[in-house]
Homo-oligomer: A and B are copies of this chain.
Amino acid sequence: MFNFSYYTPTEVLFGKGTENETGRMVRKYQGTKVLIHYGSGSVVRSGLLDRIKASLDQEGIGHVELGGVVPNPHLELVYEGIELCRKEKVDFLLAVGGGSVIDSSKAIAYGLADPDRDVWELFEHTRKANGCLPVASVLTIAAAGSEMSNSCVITRASDNNKRAYDDDLSRPKFAIMNPELTVTLPDYQTQSGCVDIMMHTMERYFTQGGNMEITDTIAEGLLRTVMKNARILHADPANYEARAEVMWSSSLAHNGLTGCGNDGGDFSSHMLEHEMGGMFDVTHGAGLAAIWPSWARYVYRDDLDRFVRYARNVMGVTDEGTDEEIALKGIEAMEAFYHSIDMPVNMSELGIHPTPEQVEEMAERCALATGGSQGSAKVLHKEDMLKIYQMAL
């Protein structure tokens, strides 16, 4: 086991009607002028934005709005947000949406805290943040876990450059989670979210050591719970209890809990997917589903004990066999699960068909973004990344 730190200060209000607490919570965390940041018009049409504004008005908290956040959120809108917030003297960022909106809010909050520097430098890892304005969210998509995490992923649209920056400064002050707000999500988004939640746990699960039993048992239980409820939602998207199980799992999967005591996790699948997302603008969770099986088949022999444990405790493989056979059955069971919720298991099923040159470019960019290598289950270099992309076509 490795030493670890655990820090999840985000105050969570979970359940029906909690969005009406928004004003009270912003006041509690000393916001006086709020940027309401959101994506598409659905939060306007559903009336959610009006309820949130009423809640802010009730507390006498000023607000301005900025919509238009897209999946794989753009640096260009972050710049626009920073400028608007400066002009309007905004001191609190309220994301109304999913991970993309929260990440865009975090990036704006970093930018506002250090007005003389380009915020993109953080994502290029040429400096660290000195501060971050307070961020919070009203969550409408269960997936990214950004509502409690220290992660932030931004894409520079001008050159399809998708980059991550992690810093505890950006841990949100509060998260309002009403599972009802996710009921109208299209199934593809729901299931992509479930894949993303599972991957946040699996990235921390497949390591070369340092694991704790208490962390493993939580991770395995979370994975089983998400799979069970993803299937329920595939058939019955309005099921409140299943929406709630998935929503709370999304936070627990990425707030640090499922990595306590390990070596920091693998995260190769995420890094490989970032390049697919940057180049082809695919939905993040679906992209992860498309790359994971190839990653798993490429690395499982180097982390065999974990893959066997995964097959037994998560995928429920009960067959007899060699460790290699059991590990492979676990990977096959995962692919069968992906198919059962209409998720892809390779890039072709995902609907992207990169040329050999594009595959080469993704591998090059991934190696660059990871500083040359990535992974714990198996350390990958550029040639490994290239092979996994090729296997995943």
Contacts and interface: CB of A to CB of B under 8 A. Distances in A.
Interface of A: 1-9, 11-18, 212-214, 217-218, 220-222, 224-225, 228-229, 240-241, 244-245, 248-249, 252, 257, 260-261
Given A1-B244, A14-B5, A214 B260 contact: no
Nearest to A148: B6
A244 B261 contact: yes
19 contacts: A1-B15, A1-B240, A1-B244, A6-B12, A7-B12, A14-B260, A212-B241, A212-B245, A213-B225, A213-B245, A214-B222, A214-B225, A214-B248, A214-B249, A214-B252, A217-B221, A217-B225, A221-B221, A248-B260
Contact of A14 (B6, B16, B213): B6
A316 to B, nearest CB: 14
Given A2-B15, A6-B12, A214-B249, 19 more contacts: A1-B15, A1-B240, A3-B16, A3-B17, A3-B18, A4-B12, A5-B11, A6-B14, A9-B11, A212-B241, A212-B244, A213-B245, A214-B225, A214-B252, A218-B218, A220-B221, A244-B261, A248-B261, A257-B257
A106 B248 CA distance: 30
Contacts of A15: 1-4
A3 B14 contact: yes
Identical chains bound together, number: 2
A5 B1 contact: no
A3 B240 CA distance: 12
Nearest to A246: B214
Contacts of A17: 3
Contact of A1 (B212, B241, B252): B241
A168 to B, nearest CB: 9
A249 B5 CA distance: 15
Contact of A12 (B5, B221, B222): B5
Contacts of A13: 3, 5
A204 to B, nearest CB: 15
A222 B8 CA distance: 19
Nearest to A5: B13
A228 B216 CA distance: 14
Interface centre among A8, A13, A241, by most chain B C-beta atoms within 10 angstroms, is: A8
A384 to B, nearest CB: 31
Nearest to A7: B11
A8 B175 CA distance: 13
Interface centre among A11, A220, A248, by most chain B C-beta atoms within 10 angstroms, is: A248
A3 B176 CA distance: 11
A222 B225 CA distance: 16
Contacts of A11: 5-7, 9
Contacts of A8: 8-9
Contacts of A217: 221-222, 224-225
Contacts of A2: 15
Contacts of A9: 8-9, 11
Contacts of A241: 1, 212
A131 to B, nearest CB: 14
